[in-house]
């Protein structure tokens, strides 16, 4: 099995360019279902989640040409199946993003029920309630959701109980082909939703208000293929900012390829901790001269502090001069990472959805297990400052969302390697 081995204590310097946003690319790939013909996506990250979404589309009859490492040409003209099968949905919950576009174009979809994941139950009830309001009829059997809109979709007002990213996206992708106007009230405002609406509008959709809590979609008769560039990954950028904040003392690193405005709350909180983050062309310069200060953070939908940066922020607060509180409001089970960080010497107490972190002087390298995508990346970053060696296993989680993570860290001066070791569970 592959692990990532980190030798701590090496200063970082230089620059790193982040890849395209995972959470944008996956939805844009799903959205190509709405426009028969060849859509080209640029700045697509070469990560395993993108490969899974490619498989989902191919199973339906789409063809995907890998033009180069970061450019995919997807042709959905010949799609003749409307099913996202269990083995792919179980690998990646975001496969459910095909439901909206399938309903928009074909009026039907058969999607494996996603079930739980290691971030908790992660229901899709809001997707279903919203689509029902547009006229979709749902049925479930044998672990599958059957969605039928053969009588057409009709625009209406949908008020989301919570600003769910996935529900907002599925509703937008169905509503672009509905009769009349759909209004999504309490819509999620994440930059990836704006990117999706931009591409759909380039395809001929009529969406206004994406990025605000009220999105209005006027249905159109057809959408046409386009060429679209995926936005930079703000979470990958935030992960490198944490690495720089830990290891660029008396120097700096530059993180580019993303829009710093997409990380507003993260930058604000890290600045309060004593990290200096200067805006530069296409990104930021990160530097820290002073001791890290404790901070209180609560995760919230955009423009609040992203849950996907919670673990990385915990690494910083674990080394702060005082006590911090991090409150997780989005996912019910996102503190598994904390117990791994405790194995590295951090002092963290979990009380319900709060983590109380007492800063320590240093971390010590240990063998740890990646609990999920962001937690895994945060453990690698923690290893950069830890004394001795840190070995992170279950790194398939990291591969889901970080392209060339090891190589990028090495280019900044980190001593990190991907190593194949015998699986200890094999006799």
Catalytic positions, please? 117
As a whole number of angstroms, the distance between CA 33 and CA 427 comes to 47
- 158 or 416, CB closer to ligand UD1? 158
Cis-peptide into 387, omega within 30 deg? no
Instruction: Please state the closest distance from residue 92 (CB atom) to ligand UD1, in A.
Output: 8
Interface residues with ligand UD1 (CB under 6 A) are 23, 26, 94, 122-127, 162, 164-167, 188, 306-308, 330-331
Closest residue to ligand UD1 using C-beta atoms: 166
Whose Cβ is closer to ligand UD1: residue 75's or residue 233's?
233
Give the single-character DSSP code of 261: G
Tokens of 69: 């490492």
CA dist., res. 221 & res. 134, Å (int): 16
Helix (H) or strand (E) holding 132: helix 125-133
Q: How far is the CB of 301 from ligand UD1 (least distance, A)?
A: 6
Q: Are 169 and 195 in contact (CB under 8 A)?
A: no
Contact 128, 140 (CB under 8 A): no
Nearer to ligand UD1, 307 or 312 (CB): 307
Q: Is 212 exposed, middle or buried (CB count within 10 Å of its CB: 0-12, 13-18, 19+)? A: exposed
Cβ contacts of 255 within 8 Å, gap of 6 or more: 15, 16, 18, 237, 240, 241, 244, 283, 284, 285, 286
- Shortest reach from residue 353's CB to ligand UD1, in Å: 11
Closest CB 59 distance from ligand UD1, rounded Å: 19
Other residues' Cβ atoms within 10 Å of the Cβ of residue 201? 16
Rounded (10°) CA dihedral 297, 117, 128, 300:
0
State in angstroms the smallest separation of the CB of 125 from ligand UD1: 5
**Residue 288: DSSP 8-state:** B
**CB nearer to ligand UD1: pick between 157 and 347:** 157
Nearest distance in Å: CB 153, ligand UD1: 18
**Whole-number Å distance between alpha carbons of 67 and 51:** 14
Q: How far apart are CA 273 and CA 297, in angstroms?
A: 11
CA distance readout (Å), 346 to 126, 342, 367: 37, 4, 14
Nearer to ligand UD1, 65 or 125 (CB): 125
Nearer to ligand UD1, 270 or 305 (CB): 305
């Amino acid at each position: 099995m592959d692990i990532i081995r980190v030798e701590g204590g090496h200063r970082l310097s230089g620059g790193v360019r982040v890849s395209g946003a995972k959470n944008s690319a996956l939805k844009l790939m799903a959205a190509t279902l709405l426009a028969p013909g060849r859509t080209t996506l640029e700045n697509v990250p070469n990560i395993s989640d993108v490969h899974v979404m490619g498989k989902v589309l191919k199973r339906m009859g789409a063809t995907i040409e890998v033009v180069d490492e970061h450019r995919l040409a997807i042709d959905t003209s010949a799609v003749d199946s409307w099913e996202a099968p269990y083995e792919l949905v179980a690998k990646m919950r975001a496969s459910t993003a095909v439901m909206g576009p399938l309903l928009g174009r074909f009026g039907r979809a058969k999607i494996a029920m996603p079930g739980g994941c290691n971030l908790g139950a992660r229901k899709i009830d809001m997707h279903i309630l919203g689509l029902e309001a547009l006229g979709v009829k749902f049925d479930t059997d044998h672990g599958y959701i059957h969605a039928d809109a053969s009588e057409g979709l009709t625009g209406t007002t949908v008020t989301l109980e919570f600003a769910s990213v996935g529900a907002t996206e599925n509703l937008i992708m169905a509503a672009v082909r509905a009769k009349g106007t759909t209004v999504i009230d309490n819509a999620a405002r994440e930059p990836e939703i704006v990117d999706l609406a931009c591409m759909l509008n380039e395809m001929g959709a009529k969406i206004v208000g994406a990025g605000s809590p009220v999105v209005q979609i006027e249905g159109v008769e057809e959408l046409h293929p386009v060429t679209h560039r995926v936005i930079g990954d703000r979470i990958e950028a935030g992960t490198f900012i944490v690495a720089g904040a830990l290891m660029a003392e008396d120097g700096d690193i530059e993180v580019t390829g993303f829009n710093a405005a997409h990380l507003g709350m993260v930058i604000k909180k890290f600045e309060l901790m004593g990290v200096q983050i200067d805006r530069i062309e296409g990104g930021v310069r990160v530097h820290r001269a002073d001791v890290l200060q404790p901070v209180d953070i609560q995760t919230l939908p955009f423009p609040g502090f992203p849950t996907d940066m919670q673990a990385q922020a915990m690494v910083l607060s674990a080394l702060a001069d005082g006590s911090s509180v991090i409150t997780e409001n989005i996912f019910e089970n996102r503190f598994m990472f904390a117990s791994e960080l405790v194995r590295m010497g951090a002092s963290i107490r979990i009380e319900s959805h709060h983590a109380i972190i007492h800063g320590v002087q240093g971390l010590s390298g240990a063998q740890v297990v990646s609990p999920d995508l962001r937690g895994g990346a945060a453990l690698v970053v923690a290893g950069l400052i830890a004394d001795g060696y840190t070995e992170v296993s279950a790194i398939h989680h990291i591969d889901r969302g970080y392209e060339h993570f090891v190589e990028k860290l090495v280019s900044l001066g980190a001593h990190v390697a991907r190593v194949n070791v015998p699986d200890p569970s094999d006799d």
